[in-house]
Structure 1
């Protein structure tokens, strides 16, 4: 038992196996329990950890086997050592809660072609026995099509592409900011001088933030931090008399307005990057919200610089292209309708709404047709005995009518009534949990949750 807890600690805290050989750790364990003998490094790595892994893996496979549907997100990258890696994460719903688990993370030796990626994804899905449950890079898209799985682009990746294209408009200003930030990160003298200047000005001691090429919002954080440090940076660079090129007054305006324009994209990126709550049903609304916020900058007169005006135009055109007909995406549309916070309000296009509702009616009707009859057993026998006890000439007429009425029931009509009843219910507050709502309504709507679980487990970001 203690060995297992030790293995869990090493796994959770990313400790090396050699920790069991460290003198300090040995003394600590001895103080806690003098009778406990630490396992050897070899025993830990070859027996205890693999045994714990097998048990956890078996438990997770059992959990996944109970899921109605799963969503798989994948991401690939190349390390500084030019080794390529791929990670596959599975998302599903268990007991009306969103769950996520990393299924595999491995080195990809083959080229990142669609066929090779499809083969790797299929291998993982078959290994975990979830191939039948699986309902933005071009090679990933094509590989999904090869497997005939439902594909959704990563919204965080899409936003990254939109913003990266827009930032090209103000590249010269951003490059100047990068130069200032890199100067302070490379010079300890300049960094210390910046701290001293902040103290003299009564400002909080903050360091400039460097951006990362694969995360657009790191560029936003860099620009915002430079704005916060503007006075201290100008004073420090003047005192140091360095060749670093400072921003002109109009460039400071560009940085400020760029931060204002990009802030909503940061908010959406954070919003859709969670794994513990529903995201697919928000995608249509959030993307439209970004379009509205961007249009507001064009019409409200809040933008004064020519560069940011052009940047906003680039963003608008890119969103129009990438978000076109999003309401007609089956998964996103059905997820929005089935979210009790949004329902019909997620749609601008009535045709897209009608088509989504009709698909849900059809799915619910199929569920009613395939619904199994009451299982045999003690409960069924008790019911039969109760019926026999009350069977008489007087009740025979009613029983025949009731049986006939049940036989004539139309699954499609039942599905229509259930859909209509759901849509007529008042929407819940946006901050409430739709999963908890469906849990409370499971007895009321027996068929809709089957469709709901399939689309709700979808994550719109692989981040």
Structure 2
């Protein structure tokens, strides 16, 4: 378990420090995790300086918060613990996107299979880039295969693969073994998915920023820009 502290220094710059990286023995239940975390807070003498504790959105963490509040009085916290338990926005966003992608997994698979085929060996990668050059496609990004458990990697895979749609179409004519060419419908779905994921990807990067304190201002702006794009589509 990693315990990370975020705080604002004297120059109003958001700082981030890894306080402790702890091995937590199984079972990873609320009782065990809460004891380890409280011990860490006490060791660093910050149990009376906390404002919030940000955690992944799961029932174990909910139970852990209750146990921590039994050990440390809420009066010790900033604002009497009013905002003590904060659910990680990036984790919630991750759950939302994964749930959505599971519904349209078939549309993703064809593009994934194609990218996987042309990134399996250096020889295929070389052939792919050679064909790109023959078609005078003005991009030099390499294909990237995604990790199925990381939706942001799926966005990056689509973002590059869409640029080379014509290359895939050309290669299917000269490589009989290549049998996973996405259909026009698959490509349209890929573009739509990529467009939607781009918003979530941008918001996740804002959530993960280590030196900015303008999320409340920037996220509404991103959402407004996306609404404009939808209206113009």
Contact 2:117 2:178 in 1 (8 A): no
SS of the residue aligned with 1:90? strand
How far the C-alpha of 1:212 sits from its partner, in A, is 2.6
1:93 aligns to 2:3 (yes or no): no
1:199 aligns to 2:120 (yes or no): no
Matches within 5 A, 1:33-52: none
Q: Name the larger-Rg structure.
A: 1
Alignment partner for residue 40 of structure 2, among 124, 127, 136? Answer: 124
Q: Under a length normalisation based on structure 2, what TM-score does the superposition of the two structures give?
A: 0.81
1:231 aligns to 2:145 (yes or no): no
Alignment partner for residue 240 of structure 1, among 165, 168, 175? Answer: 175
Unaligned regions of 5+ residues in structure 2, if any?
70-80
Alignment partner for residue 29 of structure 2, among 113, 119, 127? Answer: 113
Look up the match of 2:196: 261
SS of the residue aligned with 2:16? strand
SS of the residue aligned with 2:3? strand
1:156 aligns to 2:90 (yes or no): yes
256 and 102 in structure 1: CA distance in 2 versus 1, 3 angstrom threshold: same
1:272 aligns to 2:207 (yes or no): yes
Alignment partner for residue 184 of structure 1, among 118, 123, 142? Answer: 118
How far the C-alpha of 1:169 sits from its partner, in A, is 2.5
Contact 2:144 2:157 in 1 (8 A): yes
Alignment partner for residue 63 of structure 2, among 142, 153, 160? Answer: 142
SS of the residue aligned with 1:233? helix
SS of the residue aligned with 1:274? coil
Instruction: Give CA-to-partner distance per residue, 1:15-51, whole Å, 9 cap, x none.
Output: xxxxxxxxxxxxxxxxxxxxxxxxxxxxxxxxxxxxx
Contact 2:7 2:15 in 1 (8 A): yes
291 and 88 in structure 1: CA distance in 2 versus 1, 3 angstrom threshold: farther
Q: What is the number of equivalent residue pairs in this alignment?
A: 213
Alignment partner for residue 107 of structure 2, among 173, 196, 202? Answer: 173
Instruction: Give CA-to-partner distance per residue, 1:260-318, whole Å, 9 cap, x none.
Output: 22222111111121111215x618x7379649946984xx483xxxxxxxxxxxxxxxx
SS of the residue aligned with 1:107? coil
How far the C-alpha of 1:254 sits from its partner, in A, is 0.8
146 and 157 in structure 1: CA distance in 2 versus 1, 3 angstrom threshold: same
How far the C-alpha of 1:107 sits from its partner, in A, is 2.4
Q: Under a length normalisation based on structure 1, what TM-score does the superposition of the two structures give?
A: 0.43
Look up the match of 1:282: 216
